[in-house]
A and B are shown apart, each in its own frame.
Chain A
Amino acid sequence: MAAVLQATAARLGHRARRWARKRQGTDPESLQLESRRIYILPTRAGLIFALIVFVMLLGAMNYSNNMGFALAFLLAGTGIVSIHHCHHNLVGLKLKSLGAMPVFSGDPLQFRFVLHNTGNDTRWQLELGWDGESPARIELEPGEHRSVQLALHTHHRGLAHAPRIQLRSNYPLGLFRAWAWIDMELTGLVYPTPANEARGASTGPASQRIAGHDTSGDDDFFGMRPWRPGDPPRRIAWKAYARSGQKLVNEYRSGTAMPLWIDWESEADADPEQQIARLTRRVLQADTGGWNYGLRIPGYTVVPGRGPQQLHESLKALALAGQPEAPERRA
């Protein structure tokens, strides 16, 4: 019996979610909750409360007890007022997604959000979490904004799709729960897990040369390029900045202009995932070694380069290799 009820509840819940999704569509990455998308239902405690008020009402009728009537009616009123308070605890909240930094498969993706209370009252007992998962609990003073991280566990390389977000609250008396489903269709990039040494991955010709290499990579002046986030400030061409107002960085390349190519074929394996894991390790080694490296995999080539941007490009190419989201660009 309980199982049937549970199954029914689950089916109803599923229906409701599908209906809400159809009704609301996809949300932008920054939104303010309007009242039409906030749902509210009594909690189990709320149902017990309603039952108690009803029993009191019956008792008051039976005993013609006017103070009993007053108590039952006051409690009923409080229950109804609490619906409004619960609902308005969510209305007008602003939620903004800051996305998630890529992680290696197996590590949790940390999606960052900012909740902003633009209203004039404290927002109590907010719960923000993935739909159906245990949430983070926040309270916001008027005008306050707070950042919240939601972790999403990863198992596979590629694009991880975050589930829908539920923002909810049972303020003030726990008799009702108001919630909003927010579907920003958030994705996080998951790099492949690098193969570990113990499994006999090829060390490749580069490995010997990496040892003892100066990782700063400032051997010869190579040229100037526009500043990118992550570039160390000491490399900024301050004189040029003073002249033009544009940030340029001096770029240095190590002695040999010869780039190190990390090739799909060089790590041949029966299992393509294993092959990607090895390539990932190669890329990481090349980056640690400060190499000027490029990556060639079927359908995609990363031109040689170095630094964090190059690492990201390479790992991204490996993460998406053979997946529908893989970019079609061939460099």
Chain B
Amino acid sequence: MKTGPVHERRREAPAESTAQISWLVAAIMVCALPHIPYVHLWIPVMVLTVSGWRLWLAASRRPLPSGWLRVPLTLAAFAGILATYRQISGIDAGSSLLLVMVAMKLLESRGHRDRAVVVFICYFLLFAAFLREQPVWAPVYLGAGVLVATTALLQTTRHAQAIPARHALRLSGRLLAQALPLMLLLFFLFPRIPGPFWSLPQRSGQAITGLADSMSPGDITELAISDEVAFRVQFDGDIPPSAKLYWRGPVFEYFDGRRWSGAHPAARLPDSRQRTARAAARARRVDYEITLEPSERHWLLALETPLQWDADHAWLGTDYALIRAFPVDQRLAYRASSVLDGITPGGDEARGHTADTRLPARTNPLTRAWARQQRAKYPDDRAFIASVLDKFRNEEFFYSLTPPALGPNPIDEFLFNTKEGFCGHYASALAVLARAAGIPARVVTGYQGGELNPLGNYWIVRQADAHAWVEVWLDGHWERIDPTAAVAPERIEWGMDAAMDRGRIGGATARLRNNLLAERLLMSWDAANAAWNRWVLAFGPKSQAMLLKLAGIPHPSSRHLLMLLTVGMSIWLGWVAWRQHHQRRPRTDALLRVYWQLCERTARVTRPRHPNEGPLEYADATARQRPDLAVQLRELFSCYAQLRYDGTASPAALAEFIGAVRRFRPRRSPADAPATTATGRP
């Protein structure tokens, strides 16, 4: 049997409308926007061109290009991506691939399933944008992006024409608003599993400023003028004085005459040593939480001598630098506790410290000669180091971020010729001199000091705070010696700005800092960022455990989370269903509700009212059917008609009518009807 529908008053139903395609294009634009600064220029140009073309095709009701055109175009686009990025795994190549896919799918979208796939790719573009970065305004963008894409989905899965934009936005907005509680519930209670399951793609083409894994005197210059935030710190108790804040980064123990580098990979400090170090710590511990900006490096920053830390996949090296198995490619928050007495225990006694006295032969001969000469004068290690610091202090050494370039024997030139440099120069010189005198010494790089944000009461450490200092083996432990402090004590006491007379650092921020209002604004913005990073982005398994503890569960596990989640989801589902039901109930006035009640009661003993039957007509018809009720029926229905159409109905009359209907309880058959029935008199 072949059947086919014929529909009266059929709405015009084209396969697609221009509005539907416009919504798809809008969704693509919104979701592609954050990728544009990062991908190669030809990709957004192609997406725009294809979108425009597709819109024009829809508007002029032209057929879509045939496969003979589309297939080569798609292949060419994919080949273009391969040629541009030489891979398809990185985040830039991946998002380029998504952009090309969405454009090509748009070009071939005929049915509503194709169009739905375009929207699905848009969702993925949003996701990819968050892999790239998650700034403070990301939730706003998430909301806007999902709203536009979901509206596009709502519009394009329709067979009929698109709904007016405002109306469609309201419909999808309602969907999202109802989904929001579930999102929050899952966000906080969905059991988080720490750590990556597969390796993360490398960001390409993005040079991230930060500490390098080797140092030659002169390297830190570019960092010193960078205003970027390296990390933020929240101290648990009192904030130690700025001069004591030495943030330990990579430690360098190998020197080739020009360049310092570290051991790779760093040997892991045995647990037993960690325990003895903890037990031996004499000074008071400092507890703090660090939110590290992505650095693409393996090390985590921590104050001077870290004793405990809670970062996953991280361990302490024998040089007391904190190492992570995976590079820090996302903002990372961890708690740590350290002692800051300028003393670090030895890492590996068995190995001894011969490596830390090694200097390449034939380099920097003047330095070594001078060291031997001084050593003869000061056989005591401490006295020798003090004499070197005295040399820096008393001779004409200058602190400068733009020192002259150094030749093949950089330490010789620096000590005896240029006498101008910054932390890297002084640290290198001191370490080389100590080694030449047979005292184990190594260079530690990291950050020094930072800036307090009074608004959030936390510490901001910028790349400009990068620093290098020396650790010397004295009295059976490593002792921190900072030669820069000898030359430019204000660098340590007051920070980089003080060391360089203000403004010489250049850059807008330095100038802005002079303006108090601007400074407040900058600090507020940074405080907002810090709060966002700390409370939202850093939310993870540890925060969940804390949350459960706050809720009174002493030993939280993912089972508790799942239980809470189930309860929460049931409540949410009930709420959604209740809202739906509540909305569906017609909002009618009291009079109409009573009228329906009256009709229902009448129908029970006679017949239902036809939808097109008026109250008086219905009363007449039913009165004929039940003459015993005729008077009552006519009275009640005409009363309704009067209340409805007269326009002079008083609330009292309405109340009387309601009462009358409530008392109107007709019997099914005329026989057992009582002689008189109470009837309200309106």
- Residues of A with Cβ closer than 8 Å to B? 44-45, 48-49, 52, 56, 58-78, 80-82, 84-85, 88, 91-92, 108, 110, 116, 118-121, 124-125, 127-130, 133-139, 142, 145-153, 155, 163, 170, 172-174
Asked whether A137 lies within 8 Å of B124 as measured between CB atoms, the reply is no
Q: List residues of chain A with CB within 8 A of the CB of B2.
A: 153
Complex partner residue of B180 from A71, A77, A134, CB under 8 angstroms: A77
Distance in Å from the Cβ of B532 to the closest Cβ of chain A?
A: 10
> Quick check: which of B71-79, B100-108, B110-118 contacts chain A, the rest being far away?
B110-118
Q: List residues of chain A with CB within 8 A of the CB of B29.
A: none
A137 to B15, CA, bound (A): 13
A84-B580, A85-B580, A119-B586 in contact; A136/B7 too (CB < 8 A)? yes
Q: List residues of chain B with CB within 8 A of the CB of A170.
A: 157
Asked whether B134 lies within 8 Å of A150 as measured between CB atoms, the reply is no
A136-B10, A150-B3 in contact; A61/B193 too (CB < 8 A)? yes
User: Residue of A at shortest CB range from B585?
Assistant: A120
Asked whether A63 lies within 8 Å of B330 as measured between CB atoms, the reply is yes
A71 to B34, CA, bound (A): 15
Asked whether B142 lies within 8 Å of A81 as measured between CB atoms, the reply is no
User: Residue of B at shortest CB range from A57?
Assistant: B190
> Quick check: which of B380-388, B432-440, B533-541, B662-670 contacts chain A, the rest being far away?
B533-541
Binary contact readout B608-642 vs A (1 if CB under 8 angstroms, 0 otherwise):
00010000000000000000000000000000000
> Quick check: which of B181-189, B205-213, B461-469 contacts chain A, the rest being far away?
B181-189
Distance in Å from the Cβ of A177 to the closest Cβ of chain B?
A: 11
Q: List 18 A-B contacts (CB under 8 A).
A: A45-B157, A64-B196, A65-B131, A66-B536, A69-B187, A70-B142, A70-B187, A71-B126, A75-B146, A76-B183, A84-B576, A88-B580, A119-B584, A127-B159, A138-B7, A148-B5, A151-B6, A174-B116
Complex partner residue of B584 from A69, A91, A138, CB under 8 angstroms: A91
Asked whether A70 lies within 8 Å of B183 as measured between CB atoms, the reply is yes
Distance in Å from the Cβ of B595 to the closest Cβ of chain A?
A: 14
User: Residue of A at shortest CB range from B181?
Assistant: A77
Asked whether B8 lies within 8 Å of A80 as measured between CB atoms, the reply is no
Distance in Å from the Cβ of A47 to the closest Cβ of chain B?
A: 11
What is the number of contacts between chain A and chain B, taking CB atoms within 8 Å?
206
Asked whether A45 lies within 8 Å of B116 as measured between CB atoms, the reply is yes
Contact of B197 with A by CB under 8 A: yes
User: Which of A63, A71, A77 lies at the interface centre, i.e. has the most chain B CB atoms within 10 A of its CB?
Assistant: A77
Q: List residues of chain A with CB within 8 A of the CB of B159.
A: 125, 127, 137
Q: List residues of chain B with CB within 8 A of the CB of A62.
A: 196-198, 200
Asked whether A152 lies within 8 Å of B1 as measured between CB atoms, the reply is yes
User: Residue of A at shortest CB range from B116?
Assistant: A45
Asked whether B4 lies within 8 Å of A133 as measured between CB atoms, the reply is yes
Of the four ranges (under 10, 10 to 19, 20 to 34, 35 or more), the interface on chain B belongs to 35 or more
User: Which of B7, B112, B138, B157 lies at the interface centre, i.e. has the most chain A CB atoms within 10 A of its CB?
Assistant: B7
Q: List residues of chain A with CB within 8 A of the CB of B193.
A: 61
User: Which of B178, B193, B539 lies at the interface centre, i.e. has the most chain A CB atoms within 10 A of its CB?
Assistant: B178
Distance in Å from the Cβ of A83 to the closest Cβ of chain B?
A: 9
Complex partner residue of B3 from A70, A81, A153, CB under 8 angstroms: A153
Closest 8 CB pairs of A and B: A77-B179, A174-B157, A77-B182, A136-B7, A67-B130, A136-B5, A73-B186, A73-B183
A84-B576, A172-B175, A173-B154 in contact; A66/B134 too (CB < 8 A)? yes
Binary contact readout B581-594 vs A (1 if CB under 8 angstroms, 0 otherwise):
10111110000000
A136-B7, A173-B150 in contact; A64/B587 too (CB < 8 A)? no
Q: List residues of chain B with CB within 8 A of the CB of A128.
A: 5
A287 to B542, CA, bound (A): 91
A116 to B163, CA, bound (A): 21
Contact of B33 with A by CB under 8 A: no
A45-B116, A74-B176, A75-B146 in contact; A65/B1 too (CB < 8 A)? no
